[in-house]
Structure 1
Amino acid sequence: MVPHLITALTGPINELEQRILDSMPAIERWFRLEWMEHTPPLYSSVDIRNAGFKLAPVDTNLYPHGWNNLTQEMLPLGVQAAMAAIEKICPEAKNLLIIPENQTRNTFYLSNIAQLQRIFHGAGLNVRIGSIDPAIKKPTPVELPTGETVTLEPVVRSKRRLGLKNFDPCTILLNNDLSAGAPGILEDLHEQYLLPPLHAGWSVRRKSRHFQSYEEVAKRFGKMLGIDPWLINPMFNKCGEVDFQSDEGLETLRTNVDALLAKIRKKYKEYGINEKAFVVVKADASYGFGVMPVREAKDLDHLLKRGKGKGAPEVHDVIIQEGVLTAERMNEAVAEPVVYMMDRYVVGGFYRVHAERGDDEALNAPGAHYVPLAFTESTRMPQPGHKPGASAPNRFYMYGVIGRLAMLAASYELEATDPEAEVYA
């Protein structure tokens, strides 16, 4: 199932899809060589926007939730990828411990944990769920809407290891983005594999660093493919600190917004695009304040009012990112594809659909629902000879390429922030 595009099925996006399909052997070889040099994150998900004239990632999550949105048909792909990942990391592994967010009452989130448990159990591991939530003092079963039960158990920390009572894992899988900081209980685990590593958490990670890495990847990929990297890359500016209470840094923010809008308008003119350019302003770390589309620097005034008042953030590192429209529709509601990966493989995904949002707004908001992408075995088998956009596998292959480019950028990013690498640099 491919949702229709409101943009005519001609122009840059179809030329890009055709170029990607024609270049599949070169693309796959390029990725193989990259993975020989760089280690992919254990798992990731990438939000992609298809504007009809541009296809680009707008967010990359290294602690992806939402695994419960993947269909049963996708599970074998996830199991195979999990087996490949564990074989590389800890081939003698028997036990895996999943550390979730401290969301013991959120059954939708815990359904995601249950799916991860199912995937890694299918990969041949004993899998249990260890909570670092102080409220979990004994094994706590939680019944899910599906009728199955997830049991949260309190973690036990020894001097050098983390586990459960009578359960000693080789590998610990974090599904907690550490936006509140890395807890000490997860530090100094020298005899266990903690995946993703602590420096992948939002206490260290910055969106600007990720998209700087992605820009480098897109340029190299674009050169290999003979395309303008802008077609797959959202431009951005890092603004630095903005204090919404005292207005400090606001003029710099306005100047950066104007400069980025000018660059986008120049590209729109080059490609004959009759859309109004916009940017989105968001916190550089984690979520902070919400994402807001800005078409003129004066539009920032509304954002600044939202940033003031009781409970508002005092200071934020801010990133300004090129806004990418979504031209995809599911039953007339705006939609965007989200691609899920494990190790270096695309394993599935879904369309995030929101009937109450516009094509320039973030769809990851209350009211969104999810329609599984038809990622099957044929996802990785494009169909030569089909017109661009006419074949689901062809369209999904293109999404998978963009997702893997973002995953590769994440591997660059993690290498650059690895504290142990800095010691030996």
Structure 2
Amino acid sequence: MVPHLITALTGPINELEQRILDSMPAIERWFRLEWMEHTPPFYCSVDIRNAGFKLAPVDTNLFPGGWNNLTRDMLPLAVQAAMAAIEKICPEARNLLVIPENHTRNTFYLANVVQLQRIFHMAGLNVRIGSISPEVKVPTTISLPTGESITLEPVVGTKRRLGLKDFDPCTILLNNDLSAGAPGILEDLHEQYLLPPLHAGWSVRRKSNHFRSYEEVSKRFGKLLGIDPWLIHPLFSHCGEVDFTVGAGMDALAAQVDGLLTKVRRKYKEYGIHEKPFVVVKADNGTYGMGIMTVRDAKELQDLNRRTRNKMGVVKDGQAVHDVIVQEGVLTYERMHDAVAEPVVYMMDRYVVGGFYRIHAERGTDENLNAPGASFVPLAFEHSTHLPQPGVKPGASAPNRFYMYGVIARLAMLAASYELEATDPDAEVYE
């Protein structure tokens, strides 16, 4: 089921879809060669926006929640990908410890952890959930609205190892984005595999680094396909030394916003696009849809009210915002049930395993949808196959559209692998 697109189905996005479908063998070979050189993140999800004239990732999450939003039909793909990922890292793995976020009472989030537990159990592992939250002092079972339950157990640290009482894992899977920093208990685990690595957490990671890597990937991919990389890449800039709470650094931010809007206007003129450009200002290390605002004119920054300043000044776990990424806003002209929608694609190892639409009835086409009130609609297909269908006209086939989403998502995943290599504290540096 492709969502209703209010842009004309003869628009440029279908030219891009056709180019991608026609180039499928070359694209798959290109990815294959890239993965020979680079290690994909263990898992990730990518938010994609389809403006009708461009299709681009706007966020890449290396500790994805929301696995519970994948349909049962998608589970076999996830299980196979989990098998491949574990086999590569620790073929003899028997026990897997999953470390979730600390907000232990969010039942929607915990349903996601249960789904991860199910996927890795079906991949042939004993899976238990170990909490690093100071609140979890004894094994705690929580009932979920789905009728399932989850047991959180306090982690136990011994010399160079982490586990639970009577449970010694060879692999630890983080589903905690470490916004407040990496706790010492996770450091110096030289005899266990920690996935993703600590430097993938938001205490180290920056969105501007990711999109710098994505810009490089999109240029190379654009050359492969013979397209303008802008069609798959949101322009961006970085602005540091901002303090929203006291209004410091706002002139520098306004200059960055103005400069980026000028570049986007130039592109819109080049392509005959009559929309009003906008940018999205985000905390450079933000997550959970926090620390985000839409700006259509740099002058708007002079008149921010106290509520907006406070909202922008602090993100998850009370982390203060001093660096922001200014990103070209990508409209989303997708609709599900009369609500604005954006696809979110899920991957494990180098494989696309599924996705869903994030929809928000109270948000506009130029606003962030990752906000209270959002809901999720699984990507459903009329046919059982997830494979693209060559020969079907662009815009008419759900698998074709999803293949295109998957290509863009994998480009973002490849950018994440570049980014993690560049920020790896253990990487050898060659002069």
What is the aligned partner in structure 1 of residue 385 from structure 2? 378
* Residues 311 and 262 of structure 1, relative CA distance in 2, 3 Å threshold: closer
1:394 Cα deviation from its structure 2 partner: 0.3
- Tell me if structure 1 keeps the 8 A contact 2:238–2:324: yes
* Residues 303 and 404 of structure 1, relative CA distance in 2, 3 Å threshold: farther
1:303 Cα deviation from its structure 2 partner: 3.8
1:312 Cα deviation from its structure 2 partner: 4.5
Q: Which amino acid aligns with 2:141?
A: P
Give me the whole-angstrom Cα distance separating, in 2, the residues matched to 1:20 and 1:369. Answer: 30
Among 313, 316, 334, the residue aligned to 2:340: 334
What is the aligned partner in structure 2 of residue 354 from structure 1? 360
Return 5+ residue gaps in structure 1 as ranges: none
Q: Which amino acid aligns with 2:204?
A: V
1:3 Cα deviation from its structure 2 partner: 0.5
Deviates further, 67-76 or 295-304: 295-304
- TM-score, normalised via structure 2 length: 0.95
1:135 Cα deviation from its structure 2 partner: 1.4
Q: Which amino acid aligns with 1:91?
A: P
Q: How does 1:11-410 map to 2 (within 5 A)?
A: 11-287=11-287, 290-303=291-304, 305-308=306-309, 312-313=313-314, 315-374=321-380, 378-379=385-386, 381-410=387-416
1:243 Cα deviation from its structure 2 partner: 1.7
* Residues 71 and 304 of structure 1, relative CA distance in 2, 3 Å threshold: same
* Residues 309 and 57 of structure 1, relative CA distance in 2, 3 Å threshold: closer
Q: Which amino acid aligns with 1:233?
A: H
- Tell me if structure 2 keeps the 8 A contact 1:222–1:228: yes
Give me the whole-angstrom Cα distance separating, in 2, the residues matched to 1:91 and 1:99. Answer: 21
1:265 Cα deviation from its structure 2 partner: 0.4
- Tell me if structure 1 keeps the 8 A contact 2:312–2:321: no
1:54-113 CA-to-partner distances (Å, cap 9, x unmatched) read: 000000000000000000000000000000000000001000000001121111111000
- Tell me if structure 2 keeps the 8 A contact 1:289–1:307: no
1:306 Cα deviation from its structure 2 partner: 3.7
* Residues 123 and 57 of structure 1, relative CA distance in 2, 3 Å threshold: same
* Residues 21 and 423 of structure 1, relative CA distance in 2, 3 Å threshold: closer
1:318-377 CA-to-partner distances (Å, cap 9, x unmatched) read: 110000000001121100000000000000000001000000000011111100013686
The answer to whether the aligner puts 1:421 opposite 2:431 as a matched pair is no
Q: Which amino acid aligns with 1:388?
A: P
- TM-score, normalised via structure 1 length: 0.97
1:420 Cα deviation from its structure 2 partner: 0.2
Give me the whole-angstrom Cα distance separating, in 1, the residues matched to 2:181 and 2:303. Answer: 30
Return 5+ residue gaps in structure 2 as ranges: 315-319
Q: Which amino acid aligns with 2:385?
A: S
Aligned-residue sequence identity (percent) comes to 79
Give me the whole-angstrom Cα distance separating, in 2, the residues matched to 1:11 and 1:400. Answer: 20
What is the aligned partner in structure 1 of residue 317 from structure 2? none
Tell me the SS of whatever aligns to 1:347.
Answer: strand
- Tell me if structure 1 keeps the 8 A contact 2:5–2:334: yes
1:118-137 CA-to-partner distances (Å, cap 9, x unmatched) read: 00000000000001111111
